[in-house]
Structure 1
Amino acid sequence: MESLLDLLWAMSDFLWGTPMTVVVGGTGLYLTIKFRFYYMKKIKFHFKNTFAKMFKGGDGEGSVSGFAAACTAMANTIGVGNISGVATAVTMGGPGAIFWMWVSGLLGMSTKACEIILGQRYRVKYEKSMDEYLCDRSFVMKNALGWKAGSVILAVFVFIFGPWTNAVQTESVTSSLYEAFQIPPIVSVVFVGLTCFLTIAGGLKRIARIMERAVPFMAMLYILAGLGVLVMYIDQVPAALSLIVKSAFTPMAGVGGFAGATARDAVRYGVARGIYSNDAGTGYGIVAHAAAKTDHPVRQSSWGWGEVFLDTIVVCSVTALTIIITNSYIDFPDITSGQLTTIAFKVAYGNLGGYFMAIAITIFAWTTIIGMYYSCSKSVNYAFGDTAWNKKMTPIYMIYFMFPALAFYDLEADLLWAFTDVLSAMYVIITLVFIYAKRKEIFRLFNDFWDRFVPELEAGKTPEPVSYETIEK
């Protein structure tokens, strides 16, 4: 096991080294400039088309509302990545990693928008086996780039290896529930497994219905609890923010039990954990938003702003500041997973904080596993097509999907995160290839929306739907 961990860390260090950091950051900057900074400065528009329309059905064709699709996406983003991911970022990269999380988030808004546009643009409708609009990386690879053989290989790779990242979720659940309530890990795993299975068995409609209720409620409750910690330690918040910025550019020496971190560590872990948390560049946005009802792909891409802002700028910041101002990462150096955030809340609120965090992590992990199932299952749908085989294989895949989460929950958190980093890096490379290959089409749609579609709507006209080239069914 130690040799496997060394191998995974070596692969992770290579994949998330300076070249990847430069490419991911550079791509985000390039897209932000090409999009005229609209995903940063058109805040009023994006707010009106995201959070202000949470309970509206949406216009245009699709399977679920834009908000329901976004909640399915946010099930992947707002979750354990905000808790365990931030904890490991701070312990491995120091407080400075949070600064680079913010940077990756701001630039990642445009990257996530591209994913959403691609998902809407190249989606298809399965009418025989599912009656559902869908898309994922394989659909884009075939319909946008014409790589049929590669798209099948990619689909098989995703539906085989994707479920193994769920072990990160169940490890966080078992460690947190044991820390707070001394619940035996096997009990926690069985509970999570059964409830997840019952939910995913209901298909997209049930998943979307539950996500649009559970995700916003738990996110707001967590934010309020975190803000309570910041109020309690308000005099230490300025120093914590200063430490984050300062250590983003200079090495942070060891303090207490904290071993210290270089500026390179801060960048590496900040960007990697930021991407894992908000999914910008991983391609998950392609999947979740393809089913959304919308009158134009670029309107749905407003959630590229909404998801990343809520996830990275708000929720991750709350977690990071809680860990830093309570000194938890220094006083408890041997703890690197979600358990560290639980301890931080216990420092602030006593046992009540530990109980709250254990429950929060459980719900976040639960929604993330369900969101991940939806994403991985689209690769199964692609591999078997709109046929009877698709219908037959889906229930079998549900069982396989849950297996890693239930069987390998007790592995070391470092091993699980190393594997997750490797898989995320591979997804990012593939997604960036898509974005660069279809950048002209992405920019065409973006300009069509802002230069034609929106002005005609504001003038009281009914704009013609955006035109597409032929997509192979």
Structure 2
Amino acid sequence: MEEIAQWLYAIDELVWGTPMTVILIGTGIILSIRFGFRYQRKMCFNARNTYGQALKKGDGEGEGTISGFRAACTALANTVGTGNISGVATAIVSGGPGALFWMWLSAFFGMSTKACEIIIGQRYREHYRDSMDEFVCDRSFVLKNAFGWKRGAVVLAVFCFLFGPWTCSVQTEAVVGSMNEAFGISGLTTVAVIGITCLVTIWGGLRRISEVMSKAVPLMAAVYILMGLGIIILHWRDIPGVLELILVSAFSPVAAAGGFAGATVRDAIQFGVARGIYSNDVGTGYGMIAHATAKTDHPVRQSLWGWGEVFLDTMIICSITAFTIIITGSYYTSEATSGTLTTVAFSNVYGAVGGQMTAVVIAVLAWTTIIGMYYTCEKSVNYALGDTRLNKSLMPLYKIYYMLPCVIFYNVQADVLWAFTDILSALYVAVTLFIIVARHKEIFRLFDDFWERYLPAKERGENPPIVSFDCRTMKEGR
């Protein structure tokens, strides 16, 4: 295991080195400039057309499987999870407080990248009528429908559905550590409960998954935010010093102190960007998967959800986790890592009750992330098997396979699990960025069409035709 760990660390260091960071953030900067920073600066408009629309009755205009709000909640199940809690903790332990600055930077420009993923998902989706009656898309569907690369798409799909479930081990590892720290519950008991309840939920398919996500994710996110804000308010005098430490540490090495081993600037950048990407899913392609199912009148309107996911995930929840860990000094006074460190930080302020509440939040968010991640892996299976009876009949077996890594590898060292997860995330990012760059003209065409033609027509009271896509129907000539 030690030899495997060293190999994983070396590969992780290679793939998340300077080139990946420059390409990822650079792509976000170029896209943001091309979009006129609309996703960052038009937040009131974005909120009215996303969360504001979710308060109205009905699923919305357009073709799709579920409402835009439920699609966003399914996507949030991937983004708002233990990456915000244990991922941020490991980023600070490995990269120092400055890692949070690089999370912020990648997230700010990443809003535009996330929007492109959503547009791509809506543009190159297919309607699987026979086996599941759902609109589906992922990277493999795009490779086939946008480039005609059928063989390469199959290889990618098989890779994703075989290895994707392994990344969920970081979720169960965080829950096991937190529940043991707060309640003394054994690892076997924790993973047994997670395994059974997750399996029951994913057995119900997209509609059950989206229904659960639309209730559980907002509630747990709100509880965690309120708990974290309580700590920040109690220590409001320390906020200027924390901000200064974050900014200084982002550009200068941090010396070892207490249980903290110290960190270089490169560590801050590497772990900040890598953990930020895992947390908010910018560039990974998960956005195109979840949002392809949405009912919307235009792909670009659905892309407005992207800013909210990234903003809530990184700018708010990740920041709260980092501030809590830094304010309490837990990252250098405690030997804990991952979700256990966050539990310790909350316990330092609220006592045992605070640690227990944090452990419960971590458990529920990990649970929703495992369920949300299943849906993304399922799309790869759907592509490989096609809209056939085989697709429908083999899904129960895949659901069982999906849960196995979660319940088997929960006790592997956290750093090893995160290194493996980072490597897979880097591969997903590479494919997704290639797709965005290669299909940028189509993305820009739809973007300009929404802002220059479709939206002005709607605001004038006209009724322009809905802009919706189904690549399967288009190819069949229906």
C-alpha distance in 1 between matches for 2:332 and 2:427:
33
Out of 203, 206, 211, the residue aligned to residue 205 of structure 2 is: 203
User: Conserved in 1, the CA contact under 8 Å of 2:298 and 2:468?
Assistant: no
C-alpha distance in 1 between matches for 2:457 and 2:402:
46
Tell me the residue number matched to 2:324.
322
Alignment map for 1:173-192 (pairs within 5 Å): 173-192=175-194
Tell me the residue number matched to 2:419.
418
Alignment map for 1:429-448 (pairs within 5 Å): 429-448=430-449
Give, in angstroms, the shift of residue 445 of structure 1.
Answer: 0.3
C-alpha distance in 2 between matches for 1:172 and 1:50:
31
Give, in angstroms, the shift of residue 80 of structure 1.
Answer: 0.3
- Does residue 78 (structure 1) correspond to residue 83 (structure 2)? The answer is no
> Mean alpha-carbon deviation: is it higher for 54-63 or for 270-279?
54-63
C-alpha distance in 2 between matches for 1:468 and 1:215:
29
* 1:469–1:374 Cα change, 3 Å: closer
C-alpha distance in 1 between matches for 2:450 and 2:415:
44
Out of 107, 115, 118, the residue aligned to residue 117 of structure 2 is: 115
- Does residue 371 (structure 1) correspond to residue 372 (structure 2)? The answer is yes
In structure 2, give the amino acid aligned to 1:239: G
Alignment map for 1:140-289 (pairs within 5 Å): 140-289=142-291
Give, in angstroms, the shift of residue 257 of structure 1.
Answer: 2.2
C-alpha distance in 1 between matches for 2:268 and 2:61:
43
Give, in angstroms, the shift of residue 252 of structure 1.
Answer: 1.3
C-alpha distance in 2 between matches for 1:59 and 1:173:
39
In the TM superposition, what whole-angstrom CA distance separates every residue of 1:256-297 from its partner, at most 9, and x where no partner exists?
A: 221211111111111101100000000000100000010000
Give, in angstroms, the shift of residue 467 of structure 1.
Answer: 7.5
- Percent identity for Structure 1 against Structure 2: 60
> Mean alpha-carbon deviation: is it higher for 352-361 or for 254-263?
254-263
Give, in angstroms, the shift of residue 145 of structure 1.
Answer: 1.2
- Does residue 309 (structure 1) correspond to residue 333 (structure 2)? The answer is no
Tell me the residue number matched to 1:47.
47
Tell me the residue number matched to 2:410.
409
In structure 2, give the amino acid aligned to 1:345: F
C-alpha distance in 2 between matches for 1:23 and 1:315:
25
User: Conserved in 2, the CA contact under 8 Å of 1:66 and 1:293?
Assistant: yes
C-alpha distance in 1 between matches for 2:260 and 2:52:
43
Tell me the residue number matched to 1:390.
391
Secondary structure in 2 matching 1:222: helix
Secondary structure in 2 matching 1:248: helix
In the TM superposition, what whole-angstrom CA distance separates every residue of 1:206-253 from its partner, at most 9, and x where no partner exists?
A: 000010000001101110010001011111111111110111111111
In structure 2, give the amino acid aligned to 1:432: L
**Could you tell me the TM-score, scaled by structure 2's length?**
0.97
User: Conserved in 1, the CA contact under 8 Å of 2:63 and 2:468?
Assistant: no
Extract unaligned runs of 5+ from structure 2: none
Tell me the residue number matched to 2:338.
337
User: Conserved in 2, the CA contact under 8 Å of 1:164 and 1:405?
Assistant: yes
Tell me the residue number matched to 1:30.
30
C-alpha distance in 2 between matches for 1:150 and 1:388:
23
Secondary structure in 1 matching 2:66: coil
Give, in angstroms, the shift of residue 60 of structure 1.
Answer: 0.8
Give, in angstroms, the shift of residue 468 of structure 1.
Answer: 6.5
Give, in angstroms, the shift of residue 26 of structure 1.
Answer: 0.3
Secondary structure in 1 matching 2:107: helix
> Mean alpha-carbon deviation: is it higher for 60-69 or for 254-263?
254-263
User: Conserved in 1, the CA contact under 8 Å of 2:84 and 2:321?
Assistant: yes
C-alpha distance in 1 between matches for 2:106 and 2:207:
32
In structure 2, give the amino acid aligned to 1:21: T
Alignment map for 1:98-109 (pairs within 5 Å): 98-109=100-111
* 1:467–1:204 Cα change, 3 Å: closer
Secondary structure in 2 matching 1:36: coil
Secondary structure in 2 matching 1:125: strand
C-alpha distance in 2 between matches for 1:50 and 1:250:
39
- C-alpha RMSD of the superposition: 1.1
Aligned length: 472
Tell me the residue number matched to 1:450.
451
User: Conserved in 1, the CA contact under 8 Å of 2:125 and 2:470?
Assistant: no
C-alpha distance in 2 between matches for 1:315 and 1:54:
21
Give, in angstroms, the shift of residue 103 of structure 1.
Answer: 0.4
Alignment map for 1:86-101 (pairs within 5 Å): 86-101=88-103
* 1:367–1:281 Cα change, 3 Å: same
C-alpha distance in 2 between matches for 1:354 and 1:337:
14
Give, in angstroms, the shift of residue 365 of structure 1.
Answer: 0.4
Give, in angstroms, the shift of residue 393 of structure 1.
Answer: 1.0
> Mean alpha-carbon deviation: is it higher for 170-179 or for 463-472?
463-472
**Could you tell me the TM-score, scaled by structure 1's length?**
0.98
C-alpha distance in 2 between matches for 1:397 and 1:18:
37
User: Conserved in 1, the CA contact under 8 Å of 2:125 and 2:469?
Assistant: no
In structure 1, give the amino acid aligned to 2:376: S
In structure 1, give the amino acid aligned to 2:268: A
Secondary structure in 2 matching 1:324: helix
User: Conserved in 1, the CA contact under 8 Å of 2:76 and 2:309?
Assistant: yes
Tell me the residue number matched to 1:62.
64
Secondary structure in 2 matching 1:144: helix
User: Conserved in 2, the CA contact under 8 Å of 1:143 and 1:472?
Assistant: no
C-alpha distance in 1 between matches for 2:188 and 2:465:
56
C-alpha distance in 1 between matches for 2:345 and 2:208:
35
